[in-house]
Structure 1
Amino acid sequence: MCEGKTEKGYFTGMRTWRGPQLAVDAPQRDHRGLVREAGARRSDEYDEVWCVLDTELDDQLVQDLIQESRRLEVNLALTSPSFEFWLILHTRGYSRPFQSAREAERELKAIRPGWSKATTKFEDFEDGLDDACDRARKLHNGDGSPPNPSSAVWRLVEAIRRGGEQDGGHGYSPRE
């Protein structure tokens, strides 16, 4: 479950015939609604359910989302302040806090002048995926409230990679 077009475009591009099946959806809901929707979609059909969310929210709401996701057995990939920071990490390290999500967008546009939310594609960032995971991991382990800036999307990427390895890289890996 994704918050918007940027995330959906990115993760839809990660689908391959060799890896695990990815169902990518971006329903129009607030953060709490997305976590609840993801919880409602949990079933034996999916090995894992994830929500990819920005955290330009107050700390209490982030804590509430973390608790709700644990209760519903939904994994969170939180990025502070926004998913655009995850995309920045594909090209360079960055550790200075952002004042807003808009500032992260401006930084990404400075790095990738042709980038736009509506046209985000995984293939445009694929070459920097390993670097992004390494850089993000160094900023935050993915547990608890994310500091600004940070991204736990690396945890989801690793889960996707594990899913492709579990079945020899030939598609969906059913529950044991």
Structure 2
Amino acid sequence: MALTSRKKRPLKREVLPLRDANLIIIACEGQKTEKQYFNSEIFHSSRLQVIVLETKDGYSAPKHILERLREYKNSHKLEASDQLWLMIDVDRWPNEQISEVCSEALKMKNTSLAVSNPCFEIWLYLHFETLKQTVNSQDIEILLRSKMGGSYNKSNLAIEHFKDSINEAVRRSKELDKNTASARWPENPGTHVYKVVEEIQKIISPN
């Protein structure tokens, strides 16, 4: 796409002062959960706008998520300070496919990885306590319901359960990730979502 045909930076002018605003663009596997989390009151700031490119029409394979992120990057006039993140899970896809997509993503300027093993819900669970045994996606949903009084719903995330324990979730994620911080995805259980959250925190509270 020619530079002249790109759309302007997609800032919400009624919310953000343009001179200080940063963009974090996240392309994710989920249809609703990640978007509800990152667009919630937790991360509201005049310094930042988080844009979540959720999965639509069932196109949730890693290659489709990367395509969505690349298309967004190529169609908007982004600044050097804007960040792009590929947020995918490993529970449903072959390692070879994930590795290939991660390699392609890292060739894109200003793009980073936030991979969860087995799934994004690991990040949500770490708001409550750490988890060291190997789990699958079904296990995590059961555990989340036990912590949330049976109220976990991917389509209607009860954000009040998470807003006061962000730093604890980051700390627990790092503890699980201490031997694999440079890897493209963590061992099971683990998540690199904390890397996105830390970048958001740096923007919201630079001091």
Residue 44 (structure 1) aligns with: 78
- Alignment match of 2:100 (pick from 49, 64, 73): 64
Kindly indicate which of the two structures has a greater share of residues assigned to strand.
2
Residue 145 (structure 1) aligns with: 185
> Aligned residues, how many?
166
Please give the alpha-carbon distance, in whole angstroms, between the structure 1 residues aligned to 2:161 and 2:53: 20
| Pairing 1:131–2:168 present | yes
Residue 154 (structure 2) aligns with: 117
**Which whole-Å deviations, capped at 9, do the CAs of 1:41-95 have from their partners, x for residues lacking one?**
2242571011221111222122112101111232221111111111110000111
- TM-score normalised to structure 2 length: 0.73
| Pairing 1:24–2:52 present | yes
**Residue type at the aligned position of 1:25:** L
- TM-score normalised to structure 1 length: 0.85
Answer whether contact 1:11 1:122 (CA < 8 A) is retained. Answer: no
Kindly indicate which of the two structures has a greater share of residues assigned to helix.
1
Between stretches 45-54 and 6-15, larger displacement belongs to 45-54
**Runs of at least 4 residues off by over 3 Å:** none
Answer whether contact 1:142 1:155 (CA < 8 A) is retained. Answer: no
Larger-Rg structure = 2
Please give the alpha-carbon distance, in whole angstroms, between the structure 1 residues aligned to 2:166 and 2:121: 14
Answer whether contact 2:132 2:189 (CA < 8 A) is retained. Answer: yes
How far apart are 1:2 and its partner, in Å? 2.0
- Greater relative contact order (CA < 8 Å, ≥ 6 in sequence): 1
Answer whether contact 1:9 1:121 (CA < 8 A) is retained. Answer: no
Q: Could you say what secondary structure the match of 2:113 adopts? A: strand
* Structure 2 portions without partners, runs of 5+: 1-26
Sequence identity, in percent?
A: 25
How far apart are 1:139 and its partner, in Å? 1.2
Residue 10 (structure 1) aligns with: 37
Answer whether contact 1:80 1:148 (CA < 8 A) is retained. Answer: yes
Please give the alpha-carbon distance, in whole angstroms, between the structure 2 residues aligned to 1:133 and 1:12: 18
* Structure 1 portions without partners, runs of 5+: 169-176
